[in-house]
Structure 1
């Protein structure tokens, strides 16, 4: 598997599929590129897709030192540099949306269009409720996983799709990397920088997302100049998978619309 080299020497595994103008897909916290397995082919009618394993996940290096969403954004650019990609569309969901914000702010000339899904501006956003945080921190891992599944998908969809699921975290991550991912996402704060985003932006969110409350979509759309907001009724956090029949065409229409 090819690797790019981050500015600090960390090796970053990356994957390219399909053909056409590049679309970078950024996964959620503590997940590798497998997060996108179920839907990445939806974009290959008009785009090639570029994914990476964040530092700490997949086949990338797993240094035991602080991580941050700004550093993850610079890692994305290191991958683009290694691939010889000057400019790309960027679609990030959950923590990947936080990373995508920094890609657009720190490297504006590298981002053609930006899609932010089920994400937030960070510490000045709206947090999950205390009951959600307590359930996810349950000492019983199986109970915490059941809670996470319920936050990701509706019961009806889970009944029809019993798994395996690829959005529950990279099972091979070492503990130190998992903790550092959690802190990186929790400390994200792009509030003051959001008005500097110049790329045309689409914000997508499920109306029933309790993991990353839907109010954050409105905050992002209000802070980013000219941003468009689309809410998917009934969708939870993994809207891009359960509601792919609506979400993938919505994103593609935005990316391929005339400039």
Structure 2
């Protein structure tokens, strides 16, 4: 049940903000635009604000749903341990509150992993899912899987020993996050008041959940949803890019290339919006 709803005018768009009560959490969500429902799931420690630029550029064609994952910013959690299944069930409840029809879903990084888990656990709710560089570690061959796991473990240890800043820099280097690879009008925001707590939550709860996750590929292959693995055009040298390519091989489907690198949705929202619209509407889309 949604509570604390309010509406804000954002240019010629109307954004509805509310909180959805779910088992063990309260989820802060935002809905804007009109058209087919599109859920955006941010990566890393990103809350709904990280997807704001992308959502704004899609709201003329879609009803765009963004939210703070449980434990981040405006969303609370009572859980002491989390799994990607927990996050996927949260996404399912958000969708159920808005529609009974299959929706579009776009996720990047851990957001893509959650989107895939949503597709496996609640296949009837997803018409098409675009999974941008998901950390599907089980698909990586050795020793690349060991390298990826070590990237997570070393970052978690750095966080415990040195704090958020050094840990972020370490992981950002591992997956080559390049803030210079962005559209000219994209401004780098100063960290907000939730920054440190969000980073702490990512490294304390979500990183172990990613490392522990094993996707049921048989169920994913059998899903009625169209599953589209996606990669960044500038990230072919990092292991999440390979995860997406291997996922495409596993599913027997082509992967799609998106602008920028691993965080292209954040740094290149205009180009990402156009590319996402193009990919979602291949073959007429789910509503065509």
TM-score by length of 2: 0.75
More displaced, 243-252 or 43-52? Answer: 243-252
1:36 paired to 2:60: no
Go from structure 1 to structure 2 and tell me whether the alpha carbon gap of 1:232 and 1:176 turns closer, same or farther (over 3 Å shift).
closer
Residue by residue over 1:211-241, the C-alpha shift from the partner in whole angstroms, topping out at 9 and shown as x without a partner, is: 643211111111225x3312358x4310223
Within 2, Cα distance between the matches of 1:98 and 1:18?
25
Structure 2 equivalent of residue 189 of structure 1? 214
Residue by residue over 1:127-153, the C-alpha shift from the partner in whole angstroms, topping out at 9 and shown as x without a partner, is: 455885546753444333334555454
1:223 aligned counterpart, secondary structure: helix
Structure 1 equivalent of residue 229 of structure 2? 203
Gap runs ≥5 in structure 2? 5-17
1:253 paired to 2:268: no
Gap runs ≥5 in structure 1? none
Go from structure 1 to structure 2 and tell me whether the alpha carbon gap of 1:200 and 1:64 turns closer, same or farther (over 3 Å shift).
closer
1:119 aligned counterpart, secondary structure: coil
Report 1 or 2 for greater relative contact order, CA contacts < 8 Å, sequence distance ≥ 6: 1
How many residue pairs match? The answer is: 255
- 1:222 pairs, out of 238, 249, 252, with 249
Structure 1 equivalent of residue 133 of structure 2? 118
Structure with bigger strand share is 2
Go from structure 1 to structure 2 and tell me whether the alpha carbon gap of 1:53 and 1:211 turns closer, same or farther (over 3 Å shift).
farther
- 2:96 pairs, out of 67, 71, 81, with 81
Within 2, Cα distance between the matches of 1:29 and 1:191?
23
Within 1, Cα distance between the matches of 2:215 and 2:101?
24
More displaced, 88-97 or 122-131? Answer: 122-131
Go from structure 1 to structure 2 and tell me whether the alpha carbon gap of 1:121 and 1:197 turns closer, same or farther (over 3 Å shift).
farther
Within 2, Cα distance between the matches of 1:143 and 1:175?
12
Residue by residue over 1:110-167, the C-alpha shift from the partner in whole angstroms, topping out at 9 and shown as x without a partner, is: 111110012132344354558855467534443333345554543643797662267x
In the TM superposition, residue 198 of structure 1 has moved relative to its aligned partner by 2.8
Go from structure 1 to structure 2 and tell me whether the alpha carbon gap of 1:25 and 1:163 turns closer, same or farther (over 3 Å shift).
same
Go from structure 1 to structure 2 and tell me whether the alpha carbon gap of 1:42 and 1:155 turns closer, same or farther (over 3 Å shift).
closer
Go from structure 1 to structure 2 and tell me whether the alpha carbon gap of 1:3 and 1:232 turns closer, same or farther (over 3 Å shift).
closer
